[in-house]
Amino acid sequence: MHSHSPTGYGVGEEANVFQVRIHGRGGQGVVTAAELLSVAAFVEGSHAQAFPTFGSERTGAPVVSFCRIDDRPIRNREPIAEPDALIIQDPTLLHQVDVFAGLDQDGYILINSARGFDQLGLGEFATGFREQRLLTVPATEIAREHLGRPLPNAVLLGGFAGLSGLVTIESVARAIRERFPGKLGDGNVAAAEAAFEYVRRETGSVAHA
């Protein structure tokens, strides 16, 4: 985790903050994804903060949202320039926007795609990173299967829980049910759980490596 980004903490006080940046397009639930992740962390007793960049959220426009998780109150309100993890909800952004800006080589990358990093044109880029922290998940397909709609946000949070171990799948499920009651919540939870299991299979269950 980064210990040098400006938060208003004293020197050395920021070692436990974990910063997630989520990239997607308007209509994909990018802002909701950050909010759900913050609720999942809060359920586990952490302090958490979620906020979007204030640009256009028109359908199809690039959208970025942020989530910070810490074991102490979070005073920093700045956009996340140096994320510990990236969740990329739309792979068409990969070669349009500098989604990887500020991520160091210990970082996590989760991309919504049925294709691997090589097929996405990221093979050379990925070589400097820790292989067990990089993954693609076919979140749109999983969402269609469980929700009947191509909404990847909750699905990717399930995948992220499996990849990072930052939050549990149980906390993600609880956050989803709080936000989406009834059948919609059930579908999103099922999709998130399916992505979690997919990630655990793909990584051989080494979620905390």
The per-residue pLDDT for range 24-45, each reduced to its tens digit, is: 999 999 999 999 999 999 999 9
Cα–Cα distance between 23 and 62 in angstroms, integer? 7
DSSP letter, residue 204: T
- What is the Cα–Cα distance from 109 to 101, expressed in whole angstroms? 12
| Residue 15: predicted pLDDT | 59
Copy the structure tokens of residue 16.
């436990």
Rg (CA), the chain: 16
Residue-range domains of the chain with CATH: 18-202 (3.40.920.10)
Q: How far is it, in rounded angstroms, from Cα 103 to Cα 84?
A: 6
- Tokens 């970025």 sit on residue: 64
Q: Which of these ranges, 11-15, 20-24, 174-178, has the smallest mean pLDDT? A: 11-15
Which pLDDT does position 97 carry in this prediction?
A: 87
pLDDT digits (tens, 9 = 90+) for 181-196: 999 999 999 999 999 9
Identify the CA nearest to 62 among candidates 28, 85, 87: 28
| DSSP element (H, E) containing 161 | helix 153-164
Whether residue 205 is predicted with pLDDT greater than 80 in this model: the reply is no
Q: What is the pTM of this model?
A: 0.90
Residues in the chain: 209
Placement of tokens 């469980």 in the chain: 146
Look at residues 196, 177, 178, 198 and name the one whose alpha carbon lies nearest to residue 188: 177
Q: Which residues contact 104 (CB under 8 A, 6 or more apart)?
A: 2, 82
Q: Helices 153-164 and 182-202 sit at what angle, rounded to 10 degrees?
A: 40
